[in-house]
Chain A
Amino acid sequence: MNEALQRYTEKIANAAVEDMVLNMGPQHPSTHGVLRLELITDGEIVKEVIPHLGYLHRCFEKHAESLTYQQTIPFTDRMDYLASMNNSHAFVMGVERMMGIDKDIPKRIEYIRVLVCELNRIASHLIAIGTYGIDIGAFTPFLWCFRDREHIMGMLEWASGSRMLYNYIWVGGLFYDLPVGFEERCREFVDYFKPKMVELNQLLTDNQVFISRTANVGVLPLDVAINYGCSGPMLRGSGLKWDLRRIDGYSIYPELEFDIPVGTGLMGTVGDCWDRYKVRIDEIEQSLKMVEQCLDRLQKELKRTPEFDPRAKMPRKIIPKAQDYYVRCEGAKGELGFYFMCDGKSEIPTRVKSRGPSFSNLSVLPEISKGVMIADLIAIVGSIDFVLGEVDR
Chain B
Amino acid sequence: MSFEGIKTLLATKFGTDVIVGEETSGLQSALLINADRITDVCLELRNNPDTYFDFLSCLSGVDYGTEINRFGVVYHLASIPYKTQLTLKISTENNRDLADLPTFPSIISVYKSADWHEREAYDMLGIFFEGHPDLRRILMPDDWEGFPLRKDYKNAEYYKGIKID
| Chain A contact residues, CB within 8 Å of chain B | 2, 4-5, 7-8, 53-54, 57, 59, 61-62, 65, 97-98, 224, 226-229, 240, 242, 247, 321-326, 328, 335, 337, 339, 341, 350-351, 353, 355, 359-360, 363-364, 367, 392-393
| Chain B contact residues, CB within 8 Å of chain A | 23, 25-28, 30, 54-58, 60, 62-63, 65, 74, 76, 80, 83, 85, 87, 111-113, 115-117, 124, 132-142, 148-149
**Contact indicator A339/B76 (Cβ below 8 Å):** yes
**Contact indicator A227/B60 (Cβ below 8 Å):** no
For the A-B complex with A337-B57, A363-B113 known, give 20 more contacts whose Cβ atoms are closer than 8 Å: A4-B132, A4-B136, A5-B136, A54-B137, A59-B148, A62-B148, A227-B54, A227-B112, A227-B113, A229-B112, A240-B80, A321-B26, A322-B25, A322-B26, A326-B87, A337-B58, A341-B62, A363-B112, A392-B139, A393-B139
**Contact indicator A4/B56 (Cβ below 8 Å):** no
Known contacts: A227-B112, A324-B23. The answer to whether A57 contacts B57 by CB under 8 A is: no
**Contact indicator A351/B113 (Cβ below 8 Å):** no
Bound-complex Cα distance A53 to B124 (A)? 14
CB of B111, distance to nearest CB on chain A (Å):
6
Q: Which residues of B contact A323 (CB under 8 A)?
A: 25-28
**Contact indicator B136/A228 (Cβ below 8 Å):** no
Bound-complex Cα distance A321 to B141 (A)? 37
26 interchain pairs (CB within 8 A)? A5-B136, A54-B137, A59-B148, A61-B124, A65-B149, A226-B80, A227-B54, A228-B113, A229-B111, A242-B80, A323-B25, A323-B26, A323-B28, A324-B26, A325-B26, A325-B27, A326-B58, A326-B76, A326-B87, A351-B60, A353-B60, A355-B57, A360-B116, A360-B117, A364-B112, A392-B139
Q: Which residues of A contact B80 (CB under 8 A)?
A: 226, 240, 242
**Contact indicator A324/B74 (Cβ below 8 Å):** yes
Known contacts: A59-B148, A326-B76. The answer to whether A339 contacts B136 by CB under 8 A is: no
Bound-complex Cα distance A337 to B87 (A)? 14
The residue from A5, A324, A335 contacting B87, defined by CB atoms under 8 A apart: A324
CB of B104, distance to nearest CB on chain A (Å):
16
Q: Which residues of A contact B134 (CB under 8 A)?
A: 4, 7-8
Complex A-B, nearest 8 residue pairs according to Cβ-Cβ distance, in ascending order:
A229-B113, A323-B26, A353-B60, A54-B139, A355-B58, A363-B116, A57-B139, A4-B135
Bound-complex Cα distance A54 to B76 (A)? 24
**Contact indicator B76/A337 (Cβ below 8 Å):** yes
Q: Which residues of A contact B117 (CB under 8 A)?
A: 360
Q: Which residues of B contact A364 (CB under 8 A)?
A: 112
Q: Which residues of B contact A53 (CB under 8 A)?
A: 138-139
